[in-house]
Structure 1
Amino acid sequence: MLAVAALLACAVSAVGAIPLPAEDWGYTTVRPGAHVFWWIYRGDQASDPNAPLVLWQQGGPGASSTGFGNFLEVGPVDVSGMPRNTSWTKTSGALLFIDNPVGSGFSYVDHPSLLTTTNAELASDYAAVLQDVLGKYDSLSKRPMFMFCESFGGHMVPAYATAVLDAVAAGKFEANLKGIALGDSWVSGVAYTDTWVPYLRQLSVLDSRDEAALQPVVDAVSSAVKQGRWQDATNQWGNLENAIGETADDVDWYFSIWHHVSGNEATPPEHDRAGRYSRIARAMENPLARRQLAAYHAESLDQLMNGPIRAKLNNKSGFVIPANVTWGGQSGAVFETLGVEFMKDVTPVVDALLKSGKIRVNVYQGALDLICCTPGTELWMKNLTWSGMQSFYQTQKTPIYPRPGDMNTGAFAKTHGILSMYYLTRSGHMAPGAPSIGGMPDTMFKIHQQIIAAGGP
Structure 2
Amino acid sequence: MEHFHVPEFETVPLYIFTESYGGKMGARFAQALSKLSPTLRHSGSPQAVQQKKVRCQLAGLVMGDSWISPVDAVMSWGPYLYATSLVDSAGEGAIDNKTAEVAAAVKNGKMADSTKLWAEAEGLVETVTNGVNFYNILKTPARGNASVHHNHVLSVMASRNTYRLKSPELEYLYNHHVGLLSKDLSKLMNGPIRDKLKVIPVNITWGGQSKHVFEALSEDFMNPVVKNVEMLLNTTSLKVVVYNGQLDLIVSTPGAQKWVENMHWAGTKQWVQSSRKPMVDSDGGTVAFSKSFKNFTFYWILDAGHMVPLDAGDVAMRVMEEIVGTKK
1:151 touches 1:185 (CA, 8 Å); kept in 2?
yes
Corresponding position of 1:336: 215
1:357 touches 1:418 (CA, 8 Å); kept in 2?
no
Mind listing any 5+ residue stretches in structure 1 that lack a counterpart?
A: 1-27, 29-131, 434-438
Q: Which has the higher helix share?
A: 2
| SS across alignment from 2:286 | coil
2:75 touches 2:96 (CA, 8 Å); kept in 1?
no
Give the drift of 1:422.
Answer: 0.7
Q: Aligned runs of 1:102-141 on 2, under 5 Å?
A: 136-141=5-10
Corresponding position of 2:241: 362
1:313 touches 1:319 (CA, 8 Å); kept in 2?
no
Amino acid at match of 1:288: L
Amino acid at match of 1:148: F
Corresponding position of 2:45: none
Provide the alpha-carbon RMSD of the alignment.
2.6
CA distance in structure 1 between the aligned counterparts of 2:191 and 2:326, rounded to whole angstroms: 40
CA distance in structure 2 between the aligned counterparts of 1:308 and 1:349, rounded to whole angstroms: 35
TM-score after normalising by structure 1: 0.62
Corresponding position of 1:446: 318
Q: Aligned runs of 1:58-457 on 2, under 5 Å?
A: 136-168=5-37, 169=49, 170-257=51-138, 259-261=140-142, 262-264=144-146, 265-269=149-153, 271=155, 285=165, 286-294=171-179, 296-298=181-183, 300-306=184-190, 312=195, 316=198, 320-322=201-203, 325-402=204-281, 405-433=282-310, 439-453=311-325
CA deviations over 1:159-192 (Å, ceiling 9, x no partner): 1011111122132121111111110000011011
Give the drift of 1:382.
Answer: 2.2
1:197 touches 1:214 (CA, 8 Å); kept in 2?
yes
CA distance in structure 1 between the aligned counterparts of 2:35 and 2:117, rounded to whole angstroms: 35
1:231 touches 1:340 (CA, 8 Å); kept in 2?
yes
1:280 touches 1:302 (CA, 8 Å); kept in 2?
no
1:234 touches 1:339 (CA, 8 Å); kept in 2?
yes
Larger deviation: 413-422 or 162-171?
162-171
CA distance in structure 2 between the aligned counterparts of 1:412 and 1:340, rounded to whole angstroms: 35
Mind listing any 5+ residue stretches in structure 2 that lack a counterpart?
A: 38-48, 166-170
Identity in percent:
30
| SS across alignment from 1:352 | helix
The higher-RCO structure (CA 8 Å, 6+ apart) is 2
Q: Evaluate the alpha carbon distance shift between residue 144 and residue 199 of structure 1 in structure 2; reply closer, same or farther with a 3 A threshold.
A: same
CA distance in structure 2 between the aligned counterparts of 1:445 and 1:281, rounded to whole angstroms: 40
| SS across alignment from 1:432 | helix
TM-score after normalising by structure 2: 0.85
1:280 touches 1:329 (CA, 8 Å); kept in 2?
no
CA distance in structure 1 between the aligned counterparts of 2:269 and 2:3, rounded to whole angstroms: 39
Amino acid at match of 1:210: G
Give the drift of 1:214.
Answer: 2.5
